[in-house]
Amino acid sequence: MSWQITAAEISDLARGAAVLGTGGGGDPYIGALLASAALQEYGAVTVVPLDEVPTDAVVLTVAMMGAPTVMVEKLPSLDEVISPVRALNAYLGRPVTHIACAEIGGVNSTIPIAAAAALGLPLLDADGMGRAFPELQMVLPTLYGINASPLAFSDEKGNVGVLQTVDNSWTERIARVACVEMGCSVMIAGFPMSGDQARESLVPGSLTQCVEIGQEITAARNEKSDPVERIVTLLGGRELFAGKVVDVQRATTTGFARGRARIDGTESSLILSFQNEHLIAESDGQTLVTTPDLIMVVEHDTGEPITTEGLRYGQRVRVITAPSDKRWHSTEALAMVGPGYFGYDVPPHRFDGTITVVEELA
């Protein structure tokens, strides 16, 4: 059933998206400001479940591409957000009918809301990942043969371009170079797909889940109960570790925020490795969780999600994990988003209820 997003829902939605963003996707506060401003100016956005999308729909994903650390200082404008959609309208020669989220994390759950509001288009209650990943081709539509291109991109200076590439990996490679040259963050629109393709390839109910997570965190705080337990229950996950951040090594290179964080507990330490998003969690030389399953860091008492660029020495945090969409555990998907792709000599580990197990690859 369709529902409406207004400025009143944005705070909960952005908080829930920051949880699902696994540390990446950009500062949720910035995205929330942009979406709220667009909703106040243009009115509510209709959110459409996947089973109500017409077969002949023209769906585009809208997102920020680049290093989340840069976006904190290089704030996007609404014109920058909608320019790529308008460019693809002209390029495709037919009107876009629906907007979708490429990923459900940080600003990339709220920027599409701003785009939908400004353009007067409905937004799908779905996304391309069920979490966040650092590279453009790392979406489930890639596994279904859906092309990222034509892909349009824009920056705050008014530069706009459209790419037509041979496959999604090439779209990532070329767009990433442009992104770096344009200041390490750009707005993009791409993955044009029909209603049938959207239903087959996207993760359903993502925006609804974000709102529910945010609402549960808020309710737990008001009731003086544990918001982290609420998150774990909603996601069917578990708590991995609790402790204090004692070291963060972070650098922005080739358009990504890469680094490691160490969290000390009472008897052991947890090491998190990230590339925009948290990808590996290790303790005492043992791998606990790996991408594609979700690794999320939240403030110890409030459950407030902490992005990779927000990690700071002295923070008291809890680390939780939850299963990803089961399609991410196919052999083809693991080749695209497993730890080996990111250069880690670690076999994929899959969350299995209360434990993680090493993946058996075909």
Instruction: Please state, in angstroms and rounded to a whole number, the distance separating the CA atoms of residues 303 and 231.
Output: 8
Interval 18-58: pLDDT, tens: 999 999 877 778 888 999 999 999 999 999 999 999 999 99
Interacting residues of 282 by C-beta distance below 8 A, sequence separation 6+: 270, 271, 273, 288
* SS3 (DSSP) at 83: helix
Q: What is the pLDDT of residues 249-291, one digit of tens each?
A: 988 766 567 899 999 999 999 999 998 899 999 999 999 999 9
Per-residue model confidence (pLDDT) at position 171: 98
SS3 (DSSP) at 260: strand
Q: Sort 239 into a burial class: Cβ within 10 Å, 0-12 / 13-18 / 19+.
A: middle
Q: How far apart are CA 250 and CA 278, in angstroms?
A: 12
Q: Where are the domains of the chain?
A: 3-206, 235-358
Question: Residue written as tokens 């693991």?
Answer: 334
What pLDDT, on a 0 to 100 scale, did the predictor assign at position 115?
97
Q: How confident is the model at residue 258, as a pLDDT?
A: 82
Q: Residue 354: its pLDDT value, please?
A: 61
pLDDT for the residue 254: 61
Please give the pLDDT value at position 75: 74
Homologous superfamily, domain 3-206: CV3147-like domain (3.40.1610.10)
Residues of the chain with pLDDT under 50: 361-362
Q: What is the pLDDT of residue 350?
A: 82
Predicted confidence at residue 77, as pLDDT, reads 87
Q: In CATH, which of 2.60.40.10, 2.40.390.10, 3.40.190.10, 1.20.1300.10 is domain 235-358?
A: 2.40.390.10
In the prediction, which pLDDT does 110 show?
94
Beta-bridge partners for 249 = 260
Q: What is the pLDDT of residue 72?
A: 66
Output the pLDDT for position 127: 98
User: 253: part of which helix (H) or strand (E)?
Assistant: strand 238-253
Task: Say what the pLDDT of residue 276 is.
Answer: 84
